[in-house]
Amino acid sequence: MKKIAFITGATSGFGRAAAEKFASEGWSLVLSGRRLERLLDIKECLDVPTHIIQLDVRDAAAVKEAVESLPNEFSEITALINNAGLALAPEGAADVDLSDWHTMIDTNCTGLVNVTHALLPKLIEVGAGTTIINVGSIAGQWPYPGSHVYGASKAFVKQFSYNLRCDLQGTGVRVTDLAPGIAETEFTLVRTKGDQTASDNLYKGTTPLSAQDIAEHMFYIADLPEHININRVEVMPTRQAWSPFAIDRD
């Protein structure tokens, strides 16, 4: 069977690494993202059939149109990788601009729902062996200061993945919540709105995950025998662990 991966947020980080990994294994690709020039660059670098879509996943009508207008040779999707997402506003909740909260909800929750809903009929039609990988975060399980809506949005990803799997039982479509820990990508640059120093300081002196590490997990999950479903993978670097509870003292 021809294998085709539909990857959102493919212009950088986990999404681009996933495109490169799946292409290296001979999969055809549908890549979406907001930055057309990056999509064109990625397509130029890949040696597999690739269809690119300039797309904001928050726009439900645009998502529906993009899926309905997929060329025939890219219509039988084997794996959906819901990677598009972001964190904003590392400040405490009382200091956050409300628009940043809305952007995280609209992208991490609504965007994921838009793409999943549009592609479900195609995934169900292909059936056994198809996979939905929703990129969550350890923040969806473990709270920390400044995570507020970001962590809550990733908790939504986790629970949506579990519930979706219940509804898809009997279709052959598998669902996984893939929850990375600290990983060195553009994540912190986006979160701090371009503060390179903050990004550098986060990764300084430790060994974070890489985008390629997460892409390897994505491919492993998608390439498993069709009778195996991994419900959730939480992956952290060896040098990351939990901190003690915070205690307010006089």
Computed from CA positions of residues 33, 35, 36, 37, in that sequence, does the dihedral angle turn out positive or negative?
negative
More confident residue, 218 or 202: 218
Mean pLDDT of the chain: 95
Mean pLDDT of 47-68: 97
In contact, 33 and 7? CB cutoff 8 Å: no
pLDDT at 189 exceeding the cut of 90: no
CA distances from 198 to 192, 202, 203, 204, 214 (A): 7, 6, 9, 10, 22
Q: Report the share of the chain in percent with pLDDT over 70.
A: 100
Quote the pLDDT of residue 188. Answer: 82
* Spatial CA neighbour of 8 closest among 94, 113, 98, 80: 80
Quote the pLDDT of residue 195. Answer: 86
- Enzyme catalytic residues: 150
In contact, 176 and 232? CB cutoff 8 Å: yes
Quote the pLDDT of residue 192. Answer: 85
More confident residue, 124 or 185: 124
Q: Distance between CA atoms of 124 and 37, rounded to whole angstroms?
A: 32
Domains of the chain from N-terminus onward = 4-235 (3.40.50.720)
pLDDT at 245 exceeding the cut of 80: yes
Quote the pLDDT of residue 198. Answer: 85
Burial of 185 (0-12, 13-18, 19+ CB in 10 A): buried
Longest Cα–Cα distance of the chain, Å, equals 67
Q: What is the pTM of this model?
A: 0.95
